[in-house]
């Protein structure tokens, strides 16, 4: 039975799909979309181009999968932050998470959603749009959470949920840029401390 299935569906894959995607994510994270070649990807993943196409599709499709993996893995701090009981805790968890993710040992510095979109060509516009959509969605979720905080009395009535969401997002991405520039977690945590001084009370 298993022999006939193997014949019908071809040889089983000789590599770990999950591990290959992890490696592809790290390459995109370190080099950006345009800075990453198919050779870079297949070398890091330890597979041939034909195996990559068969398992993940073309470069753009692989990038989309890598971004999803990033959102559900290294950038999962965004989701965790939204579950915090207070708006200030949401902001702090988001920003501390940005620090940890962008300075984590053994991983590229900076943020895939920032690094991945640098110097994109017109042909790479779909990859740019994927990242814009991811960032916009994160901002909208923060805004909705802060709006709820206003309604519940956790934030003052005069607080602007949209402005607060943009403030947190901008600070978070600024942290990513500074991490890529070489600032360490202790210095970046000081930036978070300073940013939270402006939190409305």
> Does residue 9 have a pLDDT over 50?
no
CA atoms of 29 and 193, how far apart (whole Å):
27
> Is 60 exceeded by the pLDDT of residue 8?
no
Residue 171 near residue 198 (C-beta atoms within 8 A):
no
pLDDT at 13: 57
The C-alpha atoms of residue 74 and residue 93 are separated, in whole angstroms, by 14
- Report pLDDT digits (tens) over 136-187: 999 999 999 999 999 999 999 999 999 999 999 999 999 999 999 999 999 9
Distances (CA, A) of 70 to 2, 42, 65, 102: 35, 19, 9, 12
pLDDT on residue 119: 56
Q: Is pTM, for the whole model, over 0.85?
A: yes
The closest of 45, 36, 41, 44 to 14, measured between CA atoms, is 45
Q: What is the DSSP string of 36-84?
A: --HHHHHHHHTS-HHHHHHHH-SHHHHHHHHHHHHHHTTTTHHHHHHTS
Find out whether 71 and 77 touch, Cβ atoms under 8 Å: no
Count the Cβ atoms, other than its own, within 10 Å of residue 109: 20
Query: Is 7's pLDDT higher than 70?
Result: no
* Structure confidence by residue, pLDDT tens digits, 107-147: 999 999 887 766 567 777 888 889 989 999 999 999 999 99
Q: Measured at the alpha carbon of residue 75, what is the angle toward residues 137 and 86, in degrees to the nearest 5?
A: 70
Residue 43: pLDDT over 80: yes
């Amino acid at each position: 039975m298993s022999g006939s299935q193997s014949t019908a569906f071809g040889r089983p894959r000789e590599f770990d799909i999950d591990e290959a995607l992890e490696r592809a994510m790290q390459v995109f994270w370190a080099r950006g979309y345009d800075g990453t070649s198919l050779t870079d990807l297949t070398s890091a993943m330890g597979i041939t181009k034909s195996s990559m196409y068969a398992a993940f599709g073309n470069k753009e499709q692989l990038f989309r999968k890598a971004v999803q993996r990033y959102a559900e893995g290294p950038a999962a701090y965004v989701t965790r932050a939204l579950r915090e009981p207070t708006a200030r805790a949401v902001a702090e968890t988001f920003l501390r998470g940005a620090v940890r993710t962008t300075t984590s040992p053994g991983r590229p510095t900076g943020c895939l959603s920032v690094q991945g979109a640098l110097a994109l060509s017109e042909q790479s516009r779909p990859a740019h749009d994927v990242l814009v959509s991811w960032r916009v969605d994160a901002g909208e979720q923060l805004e909705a959470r802060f709006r709820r905080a206003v309604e519940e009395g956790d934030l003052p009535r005069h607080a602007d949920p949209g402005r607060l969401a943009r403030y947190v997002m901008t600070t978070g991405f600024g942290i990513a840029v500074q991490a890529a520039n070489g600032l360490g977690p202790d210095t970046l945590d000081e930036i978070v401390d300073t940013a939270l001084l402006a939190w409305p009370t």
